[in-house]
Chain A
Amino acid sequence: MPDSIDRQIIVATQAGLPLVSRPYDALADRLGIGAEEVKARLRAMLEAGVVRRIGAVPNHYALGYTANGMSVWDVGDDRIDELGETVGKLSFVTHCYRRPRRLPDWPYNLFAMVHGKTRTEVEGGCAIIRELLGTACRAGDVLYSTRILKKTGLRIQD
């Protein structure tokens, strides 16, 4: 678990790294610790998975990925983990999770987010998923997003 110095590093970098030649030195100055410590702690957080990765986070709309379909499937409980792993390996699936059903309104337990440049592309991806799931799948649906209402991401308070 991150300690208080890790936390300070998280708060200082969650909006982004400084765009200067020596960004870790700039962070170190701001936090009053050494640059070696900043780098070592970020490296440790990467290894522990607290940091997934360091780099560019593109706005997928700006890259032309304007079709965004949340595909949802009702998959037999005995097959879902095996099939979830398989669906997650498809190149056009960016997130894939098992989630609880909410009966009677919501029978779906497998969620696979499909991003594409057109709805036709997303529909093609969903057809591949449907075929892959085969007889283990009782029903499915695709929910397209039609508007982003908010997108700020996580912000830890200082």
Chain B
Amino acid sequence: MAGERPAVAIDTLDECDRRIINALQGDFPLSDEPYREAAESLGLSETELLARLKRMLDERVLTRFGPMFQIERMGGRFVLAAMQVPEADFNRVADLVNSFPEVAHNYRREHAFNMWFVLATEKPEGIADAVARIEAATGIGVAAFPKEREYFVEMKLDA
């Protein structure tokens, strides 16, 4: 996974794709034929909406289409964590860290703390365990930054 670059597909989006993305980042109907309902509100046919969603998923313009779950409400935990990884060892450590299924996202950032990842576990006690195993595997200390308070989370972006 290290070094993977996301698709930059902005040029392949037409005005209709953008309307779909902007309109459907929430409130998808819980009805018998939700795609038909959503399509009608956009002035599209159900077939066209389904085809465009499929294409945008294939091109990775959309990472997913469906419910977004909040793991804390299921008893699980998300914790942001960071490491100061020696540059010469960065790729090896990235592969090691990424091999843990508890690591949901991992970003390289420009700072002495140059690796920032999110641990996601189904049980709260899973976090400390994952931290200990990552430290043992890499020989590098993990600084955990559990959220103490959430002021805002809304990953809706205009296309």
Interface of A toward B, CB cutoff 8 Å: 1-2, 10, 13-17, 19-25, 35, 39, 42-43, 45-46, 48-66, 70, 81, 84-85, 87-89, 93-100, 102, 105-106, 111, 115, 141, 143-157
Do B62 and A57 have beta carbons less than 8 Å apart?
yes
Number of A-B contacts (CB under 8 A): 263
Of the residues A35, A93, A105, A146, contact of B143 by C-beta under 8 Å:
A105
Known: A63-B13, A150-B105. 9 other contacts (CB 8 A): A16-B66, A51-B69, A53-B28, A57-B62, A97-B147, A97-B148, A149-B107, A150-B103, A156-B122
Residues of B within 8 A of A84 (CB): 149, 151
Query: Given the complex of chains A and B, what is the CA–CA distance between A61 and B46 in angstroms?
Result: 27
Do A105 and B159 have beta carbons less than 8 Å apart?
no
Residues of A within 8 A of B27 (CB): 53-55
Distance in Å: Cβ of B99 to nearest Cβ of chain A:
9
Nearest B residue to A141, CB-CB: B111
Do A150 and B110 have beta carbons less than 8 Å apart?
no
Report 10 cross-chain contacts, Cβ distance below 8 Å, ordered by A residue. Answer: A1-B74, A17-B66, A54-B27, A55-B66, A66-B8, A96-B151, A99-B146, A148-B5, A149-B2, A151-B63
Interface of B toward A, CB cutoff 8 Å: 1-10, 13, 20-21, 24-28, 30-36, 46, 50, 53-54, 56-57, 59-71, 73-76, 78, 80, 84, 94, 97-98, 101, 103-113, 115-117, 120, 122, 143, 145-155, 157-159
Query: Given the complex of chains A and B, what is the CA–CA distance between A146 and B5 in angstroms?
Result: 10
